[in-house]
Amino acid sequence: MEVQDQESLGRWDRLGSRDAISRTKAMENICQDVMRKVEAIRPIPSLAPPASGSPPKSDLNDILAHLLMLSKRCPYDDVKERCVRLLQGVQDLGVRIPRPLGNGPSRFIPEKEILQISKVDARTQSIFEDAFAALGRLDNISLVMGFHPQYLGSFLRTQHYLLQMDGPLSLHYRHYIGIMAAARHQCSYLVNLHVNDFLQVGGDPKWLNGLDEAPQKLQQLGELNKILAHRPWLLTKEHIECLLKAEEHSWSLAELIHAVVLLTHYHSLASFTFGCGITPEIHCDGGHTFRPPSLSQYCVCDIANGNGHDSVLTVGVLSCSLFPKEMCGEVEVLMERMKQLQECRDDEEASQEEMATRFEREKTESMLVATAEDEECVPSRDISRHFEDPSYGYKDFSRRGEHVPTFRVQDYSWEDHGFSLVNRLYPDVGQMLDEKFQMAYNLTYNTMATHKDVDTSMLRRAIWNYIHCMFGIRYDDYDYGEINQLLDRSFKIYIKTMVCSPEKTTKRMYESFWRQFQHSEKVHVNLLLMEARMQAELLYALRAITRYMT
Amino acid sequence: MEKMSRVTTALGSSAISGRTMFCHLDAPANAISVCRDATQVVVAGRNIFKIYALEEEQFVEKLNLRVGRKPSLNFSCADVMWHQMEENLLATAATNGAVVTWNLGKPSRNKQDQLFTEHKRTVNKVCFHPTEVYMLLSGSQDGFMKCFDLRKKESVSTFSGQSESVRDVQFSMKDYFTFAASFENGNVQLWDIRRPDRYERMFTAHTGPVFCCDWHPDDRGWLATGGRDKMVKVWDMTTNRAKEIYCVQTIASVARVKWRPERKFHLATCSMMVDHNIYVWDVRRPFIPFATFEEHKDVTTGIVWRHQHDPHFLLSGSKDSTLYQHMFKDATRPVDKANPEGLCFGLFGDLAFAAKESLISSDANRKPYPGGDRRYPIFFFKKPDPTEQFAHVSSALSVFETDLDSNRMDWFVKTAQLYLLCGKPFAELCDHNAKVAQELKRPQVSTTWTMLRIMFSDPANLTMPGLNHNLSKLGTLPLMNSFNMKEMSSGMGTESRLERSKGESRQDNIHLEPGNSHASNNNEENEETEGSEGQAEYMFCDAELDDDDLYSMENDNQAEEQEYMLPQEAFQLRHEIIDNPSAPEHLQQDKADSPHVSGNEAEVTCLTPIESFSLISISQPLFSPHLPASFFCPIVREMLSYYAEQGDVQMAVSVLIVLGDRIRKEIDDLTQEHWYMSYIDLLQRFELWNVSNEVIKLSTCSAITCLNQASTTLHINCSNCKRPMSNKGWICDRCHQCASVCAVCHHVVKGLFVWCQGCSHGGHLEHIMNWLKSSTHCPAGCGHLCEYT
């Protein structure tokens, strides 16, 4: 990714205007610019053998890639259309144009379904337009989250505040911390995105060679990043003290809170990215290619996904209908269980010991849930350079030998304690996170698959508490037996993988849980997982900071 | 006194006594409660549930209620309450959602009496009815409140808050049927115990959770609430709408609030996070706590007054596993440490000073000063209230006005407005600014501009007539300066401290008074138009003299000499100084000073007109066109620092901007930034927003230019639905209407849009202006009396 020069940056900005006329003007400018560039290099391809991505063309190629992105992702139809026409025009002139690799923003969800959303819901459309105006792009994450516009609004507001608005950390630090956090989970999508942003806000490209080249101050954050991402319960006040008392490289409390919020945000966003199979941005590396399409290029998942040609779509449908027996009634069974739990709750009261053992059992069982096939996937060097100690991963909470006391929410909760601390040191963010958590926790459409008017609160609470349980956080007032009733094995596998080692999430896992549910519901689950994980990490981090302060 | 006697009667024979003491608990406490006769206290927490007896010198553990081999979660208490009627009865709220009652009269080891497991989530609060023995109320995280009759196995009524978790429930002390409940979403609800279907009243008390509430023990209408938003509010509930009558802002979220017995306006608070102290506030004095208890090492989780009629004992439990009894007399009184003095400078050099009255009146030998400085005897006396136990501090506020003429800043404002900083060729800018300075009677500054032009512009462009003109005008100046000099030599010492100390400023002013008048008299004699100019000039001279005594002596001598000369003869002086800039070598022999200083000096002594003359008449052959402009840079640099040091940062910045690249590299960035900041600050104090913005725009320091990019957000309301617009652009995302419609012509406004901050309506600037000529009401017809400033 080269740094785009100032001029080319300004080029795209005006396209975000809500005013159709100024969009048209901006588009005209771009047209002229591109044509000029095409004119300049035109003789070359005719003389030299066509080599895609040859140096003199790279600048143009970037622009073409960006145009391609716009033609697919821009929320404004007029811009989309013009981009398509411009690309066509360029191609007619004999210049090779890029084409997107892997269709759609998500590998798991058919492109059509995602792109339909904004057409139907005016609110989503307006949020998309906002996001586009602010960033000049509409990332795939936002597109997928577009299923839930209420949440998306809150999410984008928070993210924008964390990255762009007033805060104790400088802009390039923020993006770099984002890169560090995403890299911990080998999330190349987020890393690429933020490498671009990092360079745009004037970050030193040298830092990108690895954490060793970054300032001492950021290097020290590596340890916190590692622990938070994989075993947050090990975080102690000594870790915090270490960061705050490092003489000239020390962090201030406000900076640390900002960093912690960023780290947890990106850890959990990495979970979401893998959980929904977000594909690379079209204009980023790996999002497009200049090669002409050939049949062998299709990857199987695209076909099964219904993202390919219409003719192969039937294959996908067929493969789904292979397991009709298993599927039918899954939803009904779940609903029946919820009803039962609701009813028999009062008469059959479990003893306290029983409750405690249920939590322990759920905890131990969550360990037994195998996280994917244990294939050691070696992180590509490209990303692993952003963090140290790649072997450090999620280790199950409280194995035999090292006993870590259970974290009781009643003693340290987000609402009572965490919020106050964050808001004290990083004003407004507490409020935004609070809103976001509540939004994620309370979001419901009272539907399950095809059924309407279902109270899903029990299911949502089970998911939320199950995730916290994996991090050793216990709610005194929750009967962990419910989890076993409501979450089946394949769903647990998915949750566990996504939360603890998201990079191992596969399409198969995504498909094998809750088969009858709609994609939007699965995205909803992903949102819950993401926020629950973020809160769990935050709670541990904030508790450590509170302990340091007292 | 009356009160005290009442207290003793209330306490009767069993008057309590004790001292500040504490004991270690085995585990962090979550809540504490005392029994009615104030002899025992119960402490409850996740891993503790004990009763301590309060003895004279110590706490004595009486009973451990946490029994059994494997204590269940029912023992994990979020709250505890001791019945105020029945001394054997306790209730606890468990974190797992159980409400448990305990009967101390039971013979067995396990005192557990009843167990209610009706709540689905953690129970945050239990509360006994103050007068009814068997009535218990609970509030839980699941959003329900339940009322239990202890003679029955289950709840008698359930109240649904229809919202998020209940954080606190409290029976009213006076109204038998009423209770208040506070909620996580910021609401407070009032319920009638007989009507479980609907709350009587609801209002939003805080943003974010309301953690606690407490009814006033005596005044039936008062309810205190504390929330995560760090506020304690006192509500008057007797009126139709709950009215906020007092508000105390604390430094951390408020976990508990308890009215102090027998003190109508006092309440105690403790915080949930970060802050470990217990504060007792007088709600009428919300800015400083009345008393503070600082013993705890971790957050205080429970506070309770030991006896309901004794204001002197406070008990508290904390996360640091200690239980304290605080004696009120041992509390710290922050008021005593507060500094009752205040000092502030006004924009025009006025000085306001507030100090303890005693301090000021003791200064008896002060005399009233005539003339410019006046003392305003502004006393803020509140009616002394015997119930208010705050040490009364009455401060006297004095305002000292500086003499209107001597420190007037008009020149600053005018200069700022009239100076041109860009947009014309360099030479014209200099000329213009020189002219501005000249018109404002600031010849030194004026001349500096002229010189700058000569130094830095192409010699070919020099316009002789302009300079001559300048010169002829300035001809008489030296004389006037000399007068000032002389006058000053008398009252010199105190002079320079004019701005710094208030005491002396008074003296100075008197001293100055005759001086000024003298000077102006002289001026009038000599040059009528120079009237007020003397004062402005004089500040410069003054500080200069301070800097360099030797030099000032020299000046004085010159001045004395000059005094007897006719204006025209002032030219004689020039010949002495003419040499300075043109022949630095010569000067170095005379003085040890560097040549730069000499250039500087020439300006300082306000003899610059002569210099400028010399430049034209004599030095021009010396400075032939081949002399590069950079030759002057060190001099100019010195000159700029000189101005800045004199307090005329305006000059420094203006020159910096006008010269631009010619000088920028000579001065280090930090200094530049400092100058810019000071100037911008000054401009903004004088509300010269446009000028300050221009300066910001023209500055080359990155730290300054980015000022314009900070806090550029403007929060607006939709003119349609009156709610804040979170969206960018002008479409309201709630009502999907365009919010920027002109209220007069009903077209969408593009360009200048003006709107009222009160009703959010507005429109085209000119339309609104026209409208407001004929009407004061909002053009949208909303009835609002719009204000546009």
Q: Which of residues 368-397 of A touch B (CB under 8 A)?
A: none
The larger pLDDT score, comparing residue B591 to residue A518, is at A518
Confidence of residue A5 (pLDDT cuts 50, 70, 90): very low
In chain B, what residues touch A416 (CB-CB under 8 Å)? 209, 211, 228, 253, 272-273
| Diameter of chain B measured on Cα atoms | 118
User: What tokens were used for B755?
Assistant: 């709107």
Range in A138-152, A514-528, B11-25 the model is least confident about: B11-25
Terminus-to-terminus CA distance in chain A, angstroms? 46
Distance CA B711, CA B689 (A): 15
Confidence of residue B713 (pLDDT cuts 50, 70, 90): low
In chain B, what residues touch A166 (CB-CB under 8 Å)? 710-711
Range in A405-414, B21-30, B169-178 the model is least confident about: A405-414
What does the pLDDT read at residue B33? 93
pLDDT for B43-67, tens place per residue? 998 888 999 998 888 889 888 888 7
Confidence of residue B632 (pLDDT cuts 50, 70, 90): confident
- Asked if B272's CB is within 8 angstroms of A417's CB, the reply is yes
A21 CB burial (10 A radius; 0-12, 13-18, 19+)? exposed
Residue B640 one-letter amino acid: L
In chain B, what residues touch A347 (CB-CB under 8 Å)? none
What does the pLDDT read at residue B315? 92
List the single residue in B with minimal CA-CA distance to A410: B95
In chain B, what residues touch A257 (CB-CB under 8 Å)? none
Q: B447: how many CB neighbours lie within 10 A of its CB? A: 28
Confidence of residue B137 (pLDDT cuts 50, 70, 90): very high
What does the pLDDT read at residue A384? 55
A320 is catalytic: no
Up-side HSE of residue B235: CA atoms within 13 Å toward CB? 25
Residue A368 one-letter amino acid: L
Mean pLDDT within A126-137: 78
ipTM: 0.72
Q: Which has the closest alpha carbon to B613: B574, B556, B670, B563?
A: B574
Does the structure show a pLDDT above 70 at B475? no
Q: How far is B737 from chain A (nearest CA, A)?
A: 13
The larger pLDDT score, comparing residue B37 to residue B164, is at B37
Distance CA A157, CA A265 (A): 13
The closest CB to that of A408, out of B46, B94, B272, belongs to B46
For testing contact with chain B, the best of A158, A410, A419, A435 (most B CBs within 10 A): A410
Q: How far is B726 from chain A (nearest CA, A)?
A: 9
What does the pLDDT read at residue A71? 78
CB of B116 closer than 8 Å to CB of B126: no
CB of B432 closer than 8 Å to CB of B446: no
Does the structure show a pLDDT above 50 at B671? yes
Does the structure show a pLDDT above 90 at B329? no
Q: How far is B724 from chain A (nearest CA, A)?
A: 15
Confidence of residue A317 (pLDDT cuts 50, 70, 90): very low
Segments of B346-465 assigned E as strands: 351-356, 378-379, 395-400
| Number of residues that this document lists for chain B | 789
What sections of B458-565 are H helices per DSSP? 464-474, 477-495, 502-526, 533-547, 549-563
* Catalytic residue (choose from A74, A83, A187, A500): A187
Does the structure show a pLDDT above 80 at B345? no
What percent of chain B is predicted at pLDDT more than 90? 16
In chain A, what residues touch B76 (CB-CB under 8 Å)? 410, 476
pLDDT for A190-236, tens place per residue? 888 888 888 888 888 888 887 878 888 888 888 888 888 888 888 88
CB of B409 closer than 8 Å to CB of B649: no
Tokens 């052959």 map to which residue?
A: B621
Segments of A190-322 assigned E as strands: 288-289
How does the average pLDDT of chain B come out, rounded?
72
Q: How far is CA B220 from the centre of its chain?
A: 36
Distance CA B125, CA B133 (A): 18
CB of B16 closer than 8 Å to CB of B310: yes
Question: How many CB contacts within 8 angstroms connect chain A with chain B?
Answer: 85
Confidence of residue A261 (pLDDT cuts 50, 70, 90): very high
Confidence of residue B280 (pLDDT cuts 50, 70, 90): very high
By DSSP bridging, strand A407-408 and strand A473-474 are parallel
Confidence of residue B683 (pLDDT cuts 50, 70, 90): confident
Residue B182 one-letter amino acid: S
Could you give phi then psi for residue A42, rounded to 5 degrees?
-55, -45
- Asked if B273's CB is within 8 angstroms of A546's CB, the reply is yes
Distance CA B611, CA B26 (A): 87
In chain A, what residues touch B731 (CB-CB under 8 Å)? 18, 126
Segments of B210-366 assigned E as strands: 210-215, 222-227, 231-236, 243-249, 254-259, 266-271, 278-282, 291-293, 300-307, 310-318, 322-327, 342-345, 351-356
What does the pLDDT read at residue A57? 55
The closest CB to that of B78, out of A355, A410, A421, belongs to A410
What does the pLDDT read at residue B96? 84
What does the pLDDT read at residue B669? 79
Show Cβ contacts of residue B594 under 8 Å, excluding neighbours closer than 6 positions: B588
Radius of gyration of chain B (CA): 38
A480 in contact with chain B, both atoms CB, cutoff 8 A: no
Distance CA B361, CA B363 (A): 5
What does the pLDDT read at residue B629? 62
Q: A521: how many CB neighbours lie within 10 A of its CB? A: 17
Q: Which of A322-326, A355-359, B187-191 has the highest mean pLDDT?
A: B187-191
- Asked if B141's CB is within 8 angstroms of A477's CB, the reply is yes
Instruction: Please give the full DSSP string across B575-586, using - where no structure is assigned.
Output: HHHHHHHH-HHH
- Asked if A550's CB is within 8 angstroms of B297's CB, the reply is yes
Q: A381: how many CB neighbours lie within 10 A of its CB? A: 9
For testing contact with chain B, the best of A132, A475, A550 (most B CBs within 10 A): A550
Confidence of residue A287 (pLDDT cuts 50, 70, 90): low
CB of B472 closer than 8 Å to CB of B504: no
Does the structure show a pLDDT above 80 at B68? no
Mean pLDDT within B68-88: 82
How does the average pLDDT of chain A come out, rounded?
75
Q: Which of B545-554, B570-579, B651-660 has the highest mean pLDDT?
A: B651-660
Up-side HSE of residue B430: CA atoms within 13 Å toward CB? 24
- Asked if B184's CB is within 8 angstroms of A424's CB, the reply is no
Bridge partners of residue B310, in order along the sequence = B307
CB of A15 closer than 8 Å to CB of A70: yes
A546 in contact with chain B, both atoms CB, cutoff 8 A: yes
Chain B residues near any Cβ of chain A (below 8 Å)? 46, 70, 72-74, 76, 78, 94-97, 117, 119-122, 141, 184, 208-209, 211, 228, 252-253, 272-274, 276, 297-299, 710-711, 726-729, 731, 733, 736
Distance CA A86, CA A81 (A): 9
pLDDT for B373-431, tens place per residue? 444 444 444 444 555 555 566 667 777 776 655 556 777 888 888 888 887 888 888 88
Long-range contacts formed by B673-677: CB under 8 A, 24+ apart = B673/B701, B673/B703, B673/B704, B675/B640, B675/B644, B675/B649, B676/B701, B676/B704, B677/B704
Q: Which of B229-233, B467-471, B721-725 has the highest mean pLDDT?
A: B229-233
Cα dihedral: B167, B171, B177, B180 (round 10)? -30
List the single residue in A with minimal CA-CA distance to B729: A18
Confidence of residue B85 (pLDDT cuts 50, 70, 90): confident
Q: Which has the closest alpha carbon to B648: B512, B502, B505, B543?
A: B543
What percent of chain A is predicted at pLDDT more than 70? 73
Mean pLDDT within B316-345: 85
Show Cβ contacts of residue B547 under 8 Å, excluding neighbours closer than 6 positions: none
Distance CA A18, CA B730 (A): 9
Confidence of residue A88 (pLDDT cuts 50, 70, 90): confident
Confidence of residue A382 (pLDDT cuts 50, 70, 90): low
By DSSP bridging, strand B266-271 and strand B278-282 are antiparallel
What does the pLDDT read at residue B405? 57
Does the structure show a pLDDT above 90 at B467? no
Tokens 């950079």 map to which residue?
A: B630
CB of B101 closer than 8 Å to CB of B90: yes
Tokens 């209940």 map to which residue?
A: B166
- Asked if B736's CB is within 8 angstroms of A133's CB, the reply is no
Q: How far is A150 from chain B (nearest CA, A)?
A: 12
The closest CB to that of B95, out of A134, A410, A424, belongs to A410
Q: How far is B429 from chain A (nearest CA, A)?
A: 33
Range in A325-334, A408-417, B156-165, B731-740 the model is least confident about: A325-334
Q: How far is A165 from chain B (nearest CA, A)?
A: 9
Q: How far is B19 from chain A (nearest CA, A)?
A: 27
Does the structure show a pLDDT above 60 at B464? no
Distance CA A448, CA A522 (A): 11
CB of A469 closer than 8 Å to CB of A403: no
Q: What is the DSSP letter of A292?
A: P
Instruction: Please give the full DSSP string across B618-670, using - where no structure is assigned.
Output: THHHHS-TTS-GGGGHHHHHHHHHHHHHHT-HHHHHHHHHHHTHHHHTTS-HH
What does the pLDDT read at residue B594? 39
Radius of gyration of chain A (CA): 24
User: What tokens were used for B215?
Assistant: 């009814």
Show Cβ contacts of residue A337 under 8 Å, excluding neighbours closer than 6 positions: A485, A486
What does the pLDDT read at residue B170? 93
Range in B40-49, B207-216, B653-662 the model is least confident about: B653-662
- Asked if B736's CB is within 8 angstroms of A122's CB, the reply is yes
What does the pLDDT read at residue B788? 67
Show Cβ contacts of residue B428 under 8 Å, excluding neighbours closer than 6 positions: B420
Confidence of residue A299 (pLDDT cuts 50, 70, 90): very low
In chain B, what residues touch A355 (CB-CB under 8 Å)? 73, 96
Mean pLDDT within A28-37: 80
Does the structure show a pLDDT above 80 at B766? yes
Confidence of residue B585 (pLDDT cuts 50, 70, 90): very low
CB of A276 closer than 8 Å to CB of A89: no
Mean pLDDT within B180-203: 90
Segments of B361-437 assigned E as strands: 378-379, 395-400
User: What tokens were used for A299?
Assistant: 């990857």
What does the pLDDT read at residue B145? 92
In chain B, what residues touch A421 (CB-CB under 8 Å)? 273-274
The closest CB to that of A476, out of B73, B120, B727, belongs to B73
Does the structure show a pLDDT above 70 at B226? yes
Does the structure show a pLDDT above 80 at B611? no
What does the pLDDT read at residue B181? 93
